[in-house]
Structure 1
Amino acid sequence: MTIVEKQLLYPVAASLFAVIGAACDVRTRRIPNVLTGPALLFGLVLHGVLDGWRGAGTALAAGLICGVIFLLFYIAGGMGAGDVKLILAVGTIAGLSNITYLLILTAITGGLMGVGLALLRGKLKETLFNVSTITKHHGEVGLKPHPELNVRNTATLRLPYGLAIAAGAVVTLYLHGVQR
């Protein structure tokens, strides 16, 4: 397998698992372990087979970097555990050379989706006020979740973040895989 083929295979596989995770998230508001566990193992095995132990190690590092970043948002009450497990698995499959694109594009698409959802629901002003409140809260108390404005409160606007992860993975595939 050539380097170009490998550079394309990693984001294609990551996108496939991310899109399946997003579909589950939209439909059930859950991203099942039966998807994320095998996806993580698939990423480790894929990189191990194609790039040896070093490849498996860097894939694991990529997944852990993505997972730790999202774990901070989970601890702060901003997302569910399924989102953390999905980005960990998708990051492992995408590999170290793709995670910068993956993380930045996921954040951008997640922000745009959040603004779009707030506009659709007529709650943009309320959402911006809530973002300000949450930012102030975390500046004062660290990662402790806000007592009302957190992912467990069903009254707040909720975005299935698996969609943003999938969008980030697909755009990464396009920019970093297909374009090369």
Structure 2
Amino acid sequence: MPVAAYLDTLLLLLVAAAAINDLASRRIPNLLLLSGLIAALALHALSPDPGQALLACLGGAATGLLIFMPFYLVRGMAAGDVKMMATVGAFTGPAAALHIAILSWCAGGVMALAIIVFRGRVRMALGNLWGIVRPAVLRLPAAPLAMRESAGSMPYGVAIAAGTIYVLMARYA
């Protein structure tokens, strides 16, 4: 049974559905992610070497979760994005999850710049950035971060989907 093809196909469908939902409502449904996680576990269990596959599945989920968790903790990312990356990692394993995360950061950076520019919030974004780095640059003691107005929210599920699609396309190119 060619489990890898099923994993990749289901993962493509999952990230597409998550990205569309994120664009439409700025939410990624927990039920979608839980269903994906269960499907990834089930498909890995059907592989020729289920023990190794399930370890890769759990390692990928942990990698995706741990890579994006710090961004959630500093309020730079929503919980759905972190859970989505963990689910993607469950499908792909740890090495591909790391690759997808890096590509997602790149796609997310481009998206963030586009949103900031198109909404005319460059000055606000630079002010927020200066507020973050000022203590380090001026060697000031770290002060509690004041809540600043965001320069714009972004559907990060789209960036994760872009990174995932790129990695999966590279496998078959």
TM-score by length of 1: 0.82
Superposition pairs for residues 131-170 of structure 1, below 5 Å?
131-135=129-133, 146-149=145-148, 156-170=151-165
* Structure 2 portions without partners, runs of 5+: none
Change in CA separation of 1:74 and 1:54 when aligned onto 2, cut-off 3 Å:
same
Letter aligned with residue 42 of structure 1: A
CA contact (8 A) 1:12 1:173 kept: no
Change in CA separation of 1:61 and 1:35 when aligned onto 2, cut-off 3 Å:
same
Letter aligned with residue 16 of structure 1: L
Spell out, residue by residue over 1:118-160, the C-alpha distance to the aligned partner (whole angstroms, 9 max, x if none).
111122343233234335579976xx8x4424xxx6x540001
Spell out, residue by residue over 1:70-122, the C-alpha distance to the aligned partner (whole angstroms, 9 max, x if none).
11111111111111111111111122342232111111101111111111112
Superposition pairs for residues 7-156 of structure 1, below 5 Å?
8-50=5-47, 51-135=49-133, 146-149=145-148, 156=151
Percent identity over paired residues: 29
What is the distance in 1 between the residues matched to 2:94 and 2:6?
14
- Residue matched to 1:171: 166
Secondary structure at the aligned position of 1:38 is classed as helix
Secondary structure at the aligned position of 1:98 is classed as helix
Segments of 4+ moved more than 4 angstroms: 135-141
What is the distance in 2 between the residues matched to 1:127 and 1:88?
29
Change in CA separation of 1:127 and 1:37 when aligned onto 2, cut-off 3 Å:
same
Larger RCO of the pair (alpha carbons < 8 Å, separation 6+): 1
What is the distance in 2 between the residues matched to 1:48 and 1:138?
49
What is the distance in 1 between the residues matched to 2:106 and 2:80?
19
CA RMSD of aligned residues (A): 2.5
What is the distance in 2 between the residues matched to 1:10 and 1:125?
44
What is the distance in 1 between the residues matched to 2:134 and 2:71?
15
Change in CA separation of 1:167 and 1:76 when aligned onto 2, cut-off 3 Å:
same
